[in-house]
């Protein structure tokens, strides 16, 4: 029987999953899919390693109301397709590891209780990350499960990058800048060592731009600072999350506008970002296609904040040797890449229009003093590698 690993990447409204064969040098994908639209328009789509369609099934909202139901549905579909495969473990993306976890760990009861205590720090993600773990434990309590944390890659930050200007006691109690999207940054920085080793060894900023967005400054592949902080609200504006916000605004909304903490939280997580700015959509593609002034303003705002983040992180790094775009918007939107780099011309960046439109690996032009790259991310492969290494004691 072939040894395989299942990787589950649960988000706020979807679960992505991939089945990997455990190979001597790493992992090889056998199939991958996603169950999107949880609670609204659920749809299960699965493809084989060659891109062939294995499943495309829609459900009523009541059939898949939450992440636990989605995981059970995925498990039901996978079961007959695992014939001839020995699943040796399941790897999960968990957004917040708090101050406790700096490396992937095997799941047990105590760890689950600890991770539940971090739900208020990442309410959009942490609960939905943990739901599939519980479902797998119900169905296969004997199967090892590994939690891989989005915060772990940033745990080597200098204290200067971790601190808020708050009393020390709060820092000691865990109120600090954690950073997120670490699995993506770890994958991209590793891929750069093969794709562009001369860039990977230097001072680079990776811009992970998707529905969730952040930027990270790296020195020789190590995270030095990230735009995200204590929660996944900080830093860049996102699809529905606000990004950096004056804390006084929160006080104003509670004290002067009479909003409850729950109401403010819902607004900051679900009604802000691109959606709040435009009043139209949280989807960058829809905003770029729109002629509405509010849509253009939201796009401009996003590009400006990304460029500002790149410039700011270059100060932490003591200079800049390259910029890398990744994730959904970063990989697929030449418009956003062009807008961001156009604002960074003072750092010596220029794009080549043709390679940028094509989304090539190198998109910088001949006149650019700095390399600009597009590198697709693969969080699931990173989780698979971590899971295999932990189970094999590597």
* Opening angle at CA 117, ends 115 and 121, nearest 5: 95
Please pick, among 36, 150, 234, 378, the residue that the annotation labels catalytic.
Answer: 150
Give the residue carrying structure tokens 């084989």.
48
Of the candidates 41, 35, 46, the one whose C-alpha atom is nearest the C-alpha of residue 62 is 41
76 is catalytic: no
What is d(CA 379, CA 292) in angstroms, rounded to the nearest whole number? 35
What is d(CA 230, CA 360) in angstroms, rounded to the nearest whole number? 34
Distances in whole angstroms, Cα of residue 246 to Cα of each of 230, 234, 235: 14, 11, 11
Reduce the secondary structure of 115-159 to three states and give it as a string: HHCCHHHCCCCHHHHHHHHHHHHHHCCCCCEEEEECCHHHCCCCH
Burial bucket for residue 313 (CB in 10 Å: 0-12, 13-18, 19+): buried
The first and second tokens of residue 75, run together, are: 């498990």
Catalytic site residues? 150
């Amino acid at each position: 029987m072939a040894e395989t690993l299942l990787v589950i990447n649960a988000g706020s409204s979807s679960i992505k999953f991939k089945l990997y064969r455990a190979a001597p040098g790493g992992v090889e994908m056998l199939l991958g899919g996603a169950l999107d639209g949880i609670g609204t328009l659920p749809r299960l789509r699965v493809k084989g390693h060659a891109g062939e369609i294995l499943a495309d099934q829609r459900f009523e909202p009541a059939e898949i109301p939450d992440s636990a139901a989605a995981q059970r549905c995925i498990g039901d579909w996978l079961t007959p397709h695992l014939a001839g495969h020995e699943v040796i473990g399941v790897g999960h993306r968990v957004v917040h590891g708090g101050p406790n976890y700096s490396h992937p760990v095997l799941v047990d009861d105590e760890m689950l209780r600890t991770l539940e205590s971090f739900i208020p720090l990442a309410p959009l993600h942490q609960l939905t990350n943990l739901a599939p773990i519980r479902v797998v434990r119900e169905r296969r309590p004997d199967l090892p499960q590994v939690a891989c944390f989005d915060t772990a890659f940033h745990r080597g930050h200098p204290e200067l990058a971790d601190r808020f200007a708050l009393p020390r006691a709060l820092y000691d109690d865990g109120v600090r800048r954690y950073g997120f999207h670490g699995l993506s940054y770890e994958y991209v920085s590793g891929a750069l060592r093969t794709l562009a080793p001369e860039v990977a060894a230097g001072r680079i900023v990776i811009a992970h731009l998707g529905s969730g967005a952040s930027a990270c400054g790296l020195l020789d592949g190590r995270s030095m600072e990230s735009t995200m902080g204590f929660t996944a609200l900080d830093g860049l504006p996102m699809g529905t999350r606000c990004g950096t916000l004056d804390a006084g605004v929160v006080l104003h909304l509670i004290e002067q506008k009479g909003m409850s903490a729950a109401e403010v939280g819902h607004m900051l997580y679900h009604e802000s970002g691109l959606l709040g700015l435009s009043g139209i959509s949280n989807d960058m593609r829809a905003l770029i296609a729109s002629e509405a002034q509010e849509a253009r303003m939201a796009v401009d705002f996003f590009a400006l904040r990304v460029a500002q983040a790149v410039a700011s992180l270059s100060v932490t790094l003591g200079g800049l040797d390259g910029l890398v775009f990744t994730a959904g918007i970063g990989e697929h939107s030449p418009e956003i890449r062009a807008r961001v780099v156009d604002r960074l011309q003072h750092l010596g960046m220029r794009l080549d229009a043709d390679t940028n439109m094509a989304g090539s690996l190198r998109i910088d032009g001949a006149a650019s003093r700095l390399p600009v790259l597009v590198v697709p991310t693969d969080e699931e492969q990173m989780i698979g590698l971590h899971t295999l290494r932990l189970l094999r004691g590597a």
